[in-house]
Amino acid sequence: MNKTLLTSLAACLFAFLSTFSMPAVSGKTLKLEHYIEVNWLFFVGQSPCLWEGTVSGDINGTICIASTNATFLPNLQKFSEHWKITTIGGYEIEGDDSGVWVFSNRKWVANGIVTNATGPWEYLIGYDMHYSGVTDGLPVPGDPLSGSGKMILSEK
């Protein structure tokens, strides 16, 4: 066999096999759906979670969202949060975000960053987080309130 052809085949094989040794998810954008419900026990100090719910899609598990700051204006709320996803396998992904909830259309949007992750999700540390959604109503103490939307985790 021609030495040039053999060298070319070896280089192609090396390049092909190298793709298997790299993390398959590095640089990947993860997309999740989430469903959350307000947890009124947060307001009496009996839970760290203001919102609790589930995530599904590229990551499956539960989510706890704790309020770290909130400012209410006539038609909206500006907020800061700390959130933690616990995967079905027991790993954790957490971060901080800030955003706005507009009461006239019940929509919210927030941007943040992944600050900690365990196990196979450690590569997400430093990833950007963006999520948005809509609630089924407005907060009335003691009444059920839920929301749903999308979350995106992406490499900077």
Residue pLDDT, tens place only, 88-123: 999 999 999 999 999 999 999 999 999 999 999 999
Residue pLDDT, tens place only, 39-79: 999 999 999 999 999 999 999 999 999 999 999 999 999 99
Looking up residue 109, the CATH number of its domain turns out to be: 2.40.160.20
Strands 107-117 and 76-87: unpaired
pLDDT tier at 5, thresholds 50, 70, 90: very low
Per DSSP, the residues of 67-98 read EEEEEEETTEEEEEEEEEEEETTS-EEEEEEE
Is residue 14 situated within a structural domain? no
Is residue 32 situated within a structural domain? yes
- DSSP-derived 3-state class of residue 147: strand
pLDDT at 142: 87
Is residue 66 situated within a structural domain? yes
pLDDT at 140: 87
pLDDT at 26: 54
pLDDT at 137: 92
Domain that holds residue 40: 27-154
pLDDT at 27: 65
Is residue 64 situated within a structural domain? yes
The number of domains in the chain is: 1
Is residue 140 situated within a structural domain? yes
Is residue 113 situated within a structural domain? yes
- The residue length of the chain stands at 156
Is residue 91 situated within a structural domain? yes
pLDDT at 1: 46
Q: Compare 9 and 125 and report the one with higher pLDDT.
A: 125
Backbone angles phi, psi at 100, to 5 degrees: -145, 145
